[in-house]
Chain A
Amino acid sequence: MASASSSSLLFPSLLVTHNHGFFFSPPSRIRLSLYKLESFSRSVARSRDISNIPTNGVVNLNSVSTNAEESQQREPMVPPYNVLITGSTKGIGYALAREFLKAGDNVVICSRSAERVESSVQSLREEFGEQHVWGTKCDVREGEDVKNLVAFVQKNLKYIDIWINNAGSNAYSFKPLVEASDEDLIEVVTTNALGLMICCREAIKMMLNQPRGGHVFNIDGAGSDGRPTPRFAAYGATKRSVVHLTKSLQAELRMQDVKNVVVHNLSPGMVTTDLLMSGANTKQAKFFINVLAEPPEVVAEYLVPNIRSIPTNGSTRPTYIRFLTGLKAYSQIFSRLAFGARRNRYLLED
């Protein structure tokens, strides 16, 4: 199995429209009741939050956070930033790493395969010099590996400002759930959900004790808006859970009054990486890839300045940075339908 490749395939809402002829799902009593249930459990959860604060662990966290906050005021986050990107030996992770290096930052790359980390570090060092790139092997699915990664970072760079959870996998297979193999399903869930959760936990744990604080970015993907993702149901489900996890973490940090660590979402849209291209075997998929997808370099060029502007402005507000916005997607589809733009851009359509 290849390494944890990065990339996201955000099939936008249009896919739904195109496919099935309706866009607004009819509101129903059932929906309403679900919503009600949701709001109930939420209110209960909130009360639980309040009541839980005086219990053991949270107090420690609070004190840690206030300490960190004080020190953050002493030490603002200034460039060059220290950036860590998981799953960054190819695809969008590699493109992001290059873009950060171009901006003068220090980058730590990691991946499941030691050889690929080695070769990526080599080629990046040739381009940007010895003192800006570090690399280590890390399988995000292993808690021990992630802890080692943190230790590696603390030894070489002392601190991390921007941690991007990019490692994701679709097991490079696009087929109905019924035909999916056990290994593929487990691989998708462990890489996308388990790996990301462990990384988030370790990142936040490390950043709470950093004088400069830090920003964690979780990369979303197709399905993260809750829209269906047939042929890669498991991938969609994990990506949806990633966005939900980000939301819950934001709520938790707010609850604990942590100001110096912020968790964000990052949406690269559709990127022409192996992960997306391995599913380009239907007419519909080819159409949308040609119309909406962009090479990783283009996406990184847009995302990196946006990511860097967050610590530069000293903002502590959670954000959701999107490359492929709805308006952009619609206008691209319109120009395709109206003028035939982007036809056969990456793949031959028939």
Chain B
Amino acid sequence: MATLTKLHVCPQSFEGPSTRDGHLIGALGRGVHRFGVGVSTSRSGLCLRKCRSFRGGDGGDFEKEDNKGRNRRNSRLKEVKMKKESQFWKFLRSGVLGKFNLLLGSDVDQGKLMANMEGLLSSAAVQIGRYIVTMMSTGVVLAVGFQLSGGDSQMNTLIWYSWLGGVIIGTMIGANLVLEEHCRAGPRNVVITGSTRGLGKALAREFLLSGDRVVVASRSPESVQETLRELEENLKGLMVRSGSSNKSLAHAKVVGTTCNVCDPEDVHNLANFALNELGSIDIWINNAGTNKGFRPLLQFTDEDITQILSTNLVGSLLCTREAMRVMRNQAKGGHIFNMDGAGSGGSSTPLTAVYGSTKCGLRQLQSSLLKECRRSNVGVHTASPGMVLTDLLLSGSTVRNKQMFNIICELPETVARTLVPRMRVVKGTGKAINYLTPPRILLALVTAWLRRGRWFDEKGRALYAAEADRIRNWAENRTRFSFTDAMEMYTENTWVSVFSLSVVCAFIILSTTNNTLPGT
């Protein structure tokens, strides 16, 4: 019980620094309030509410996306320190001063200093708010555990150990995240094949708006020009919206060239073009793929089969080889991504037999390349977008399929938004970056009845906006609160410790009921 009282004292001690921002006090209050409600209902409710209040606290400051993430992770690291009984004020001072110094060093413009100061304080306050809520949540979980254990000293020890375990795991994951955040700095040079349509275009846009330099490539020169124009417009639009203060977009640029991935000469030229324009290649994404509709193999012509095979398999082989050749000679290496598709896992894909078998072959290629590249600095990865509403999927699909798509499909922009941050910070080799992670699948299944008319109505007509309209609302889309994103964000940290504690609690509940039940 001692912990609990100590935790309850905390909010008062924070009030000093946070009064400078009225908005944040409100956020804090709201967070605490919701938190209280969450406790009274259930443990899972508690977590969800906690996420919401976090988001509520920093509502809408989109341009500080990066900064925000860093703060959150810092705070998490530091609160772990705090849990280990280290000095709170030291933490606060170092946190604030660190930020301040960083700021002074990086921005000499005195006129902006006050505005920056304000932003800094607000971010510090957000940090503190997060700290309090996280501490209280673990505190309450602990308290519930103690309550359930009923004063049994053995149980109490167990709870403490599991709590400590959770804290340690959380620290490790947090440290990892901070390191990743550090890696995130600096623009990447990205080559994406087949990037004038669908997912490739969405990926290119997302990379570009993250401040990277992107090479788009496709077979047709017109569509390359078209895409270049469009992406540049997007970039300008974002720069105008976010103002001149945003330095992350300073290096962003997009160039493009024509490239038929099944032509070795073209692929070689693409690599040279990228090297000439950008100097080096950090990330190469083999996104070009084709399917040619859904029908039995007997109805595919020679031309169709040749094209599917040469785009999916030969193209990936040639591009991977070319990218490896380039990256081997770079000091910092590079990362190659091959796109997964239906059939990658080895399950049969009737009606898309050729497409499926190429994707299955690519997975095997991936494992061979892993062995071949073991000692080099080139990372070979796969990225799995799940099911995306692009021409590849929609061509030849029926009304019935579209009903199914409602549940599990996503717009390319949504998928790209999730994949790109992970691709940018990927380390090592042999990683798989997936869109459809278990939480997402769970959510899709749970809310299946809500998603019935999501993309298509009963007659199979598309209900979603055309691409141009979607992009117009780009900024709104990017800042809009997404529940699954929040879940993803908190998966690694919070879920681990909360889960370990709840397992212990469940164990205690079970053991105590066994004891009290008569006749057992």
Measured CB to CB, the residues of A under 8 A from B are 19-20, 29-45, 47-52, 55, 57-58, 61, 143, 176-178, 180, 182, 185-186, 189-190, 193-194, 197-198, 200-201, 204-205, 208, 223, 226-234, 236-245, 247-252, 255-256
Give min CB distance, B102 to chain A, whole Å: 35
Interface segment among B126-134, B188-196, B214-222, B397-405: the answer is: B397-405
Shortest CB-to-CB span from B408 to chain A, Å, is 6
Query: In chain A, what residue has the closest Cβ to B267?
Result: A182
* A205 lies within 8 A of B298 (CB): yes
Shortest C-beta distance, A148 to chain B (Å), equals 13
State whether B306 touches A230 (Cβ < 8 A).
Answer: no
- B354 lies within 8 A of A197 (CB): yes
User: Interface digits, B227-264 against A, CB 8 Å rule (1 contact, 0 not)?
Assistant: 00000000000000000000000000000000000001
Q: Is the interface of B mostly helix, strand, loop or mixed?
A: helix
Q: B398 is contacted by which of A39, A42, A51 (Cβ under 8 Å)?
A: A51
- Some 10 contacts from A to B, beta carbons below 8 A apart, are A34-B432, A48-B351, A49-B351, A51-B398, A189-B317, A193-B357, A230-B368, A233-B365, A237-B364, A244-B357
Q: How far is the CB of B498 from chain A (nearest CB, A)?
A: 17
Contact B358 A241 (CB under 8 A): yes
Chain B: CB-nearest residue to A234: B317
- State the CA gap A255–B349 with chains docked (Å): 11
Distance of B374 from chain A, by nearest CB (Å): 9
Contacts of B434 in A (CB 8 A): 30, 33-34, 37
Do the beta carbons of B318 and A61 come within 8 Å of each other?
no
Chain A nearest CB, measured from B430 CB (Å): 10
Are A247 and B348 within 8 A (Cβ)?
Answer: yes
Kindly provide the distance from the CB of A264 to the nearest chain B CB, expressed in whole angstroms: 14
Q: Is the interface of A mostly helix, strand, loop or mixed?
A: helix
A40-B441, A201-B300 in contact; A252/B364 too (CB < 8 A)? no
Contacts A180-B321, A185-B317, A244-B346 given; 18 further ones with Cβ under 8 A? Answer: A29-B438, A37-B436, A44-B387, A44-B405, A45-B342, A143-B302, A177-B320, A178-B325, A185-B318, A194-B305, A201-B297, A223-B368, A230-B372, A237-B368, A238-B361, A242-B357, A244-B349, A248-B352
Q: Does B309 contact A (CB under 8 A)?
A: yes
Using CB atoms, name the residue of chain A closest to B342.
Answer: A41
Pair B321/A226 contact, Cβ less than 8 Å: no
A165, chain B: closest CB distance, angstroms:
13
CB distance from A20 to the nearest CB of B (A): 8
What is the total of A-B residue contacts with beta carbons within 8 Å? 237
Asked if residues A34 and B358 are in contact (CB atoms below 8 Å), the reply is no
Chain A residues with CB below 8 A from B349, complex form: 41-42, 45, 244, 248, 251
Chain B interface category by residue count = 35 or more
Nearest opposing residue in chain B for A146, CB measure: B302
Contact, CB under 8 Å: B347 / A189: no
A66 CB to nearest chain B CB (Å): 16
B365 engages A236 (CB within 8 Å): yes
Q: Which residues of A contact B340 (CB under 8 A)?
A: 34, 37
Q: Across the interface, do B360 and A251 meet the contact criterion of CB distance under 8 Å?
A: no
Smallest CB-CB A-B distances: 4 pairs? A241-B361, A143-B302, A38-B345, A240-B364
A251 vs B342: C-alpha distance when bound (angstroms): 14
Set of chain A residues within 8 Å of B278, measured between Cβ atoms = none
B384-A37 in contact (CB<8A) = yes
Is B387's CB under 8 angstroms from A200's CB? no
Choice from A37, A237, A252 contacting B365 with Cβ under 8 Å: A237
Residues of A within 8 A of B397 (CB): 48
Contact of B372 with A176 in the complex, beta carbons under 8 Å: yes
| Other-chain contact of A39, B347, B358, B365, B372 (Cβ < 8 Å) | B347
Q: When the two chains form their complex, are residues A237 and B361 in contact, meaning their CB atoms are under 8 A apart?
A: yes
Contacts of A252 in B (CB 8 A): 296-297, 350-351, 353
Who on chain A is nearest to B297 by CB? A201
B350 to chain A, nearest CB (A): 4
Chain A nearest CB: distance from B307 CB in Å?
10
Interchain CA distance A244-B348 in the complex, whole Å: 7
B371 at the interface (CB under 8 A from A): yes
**C-alpha gap A228/B310 in the complex (Å):** 22
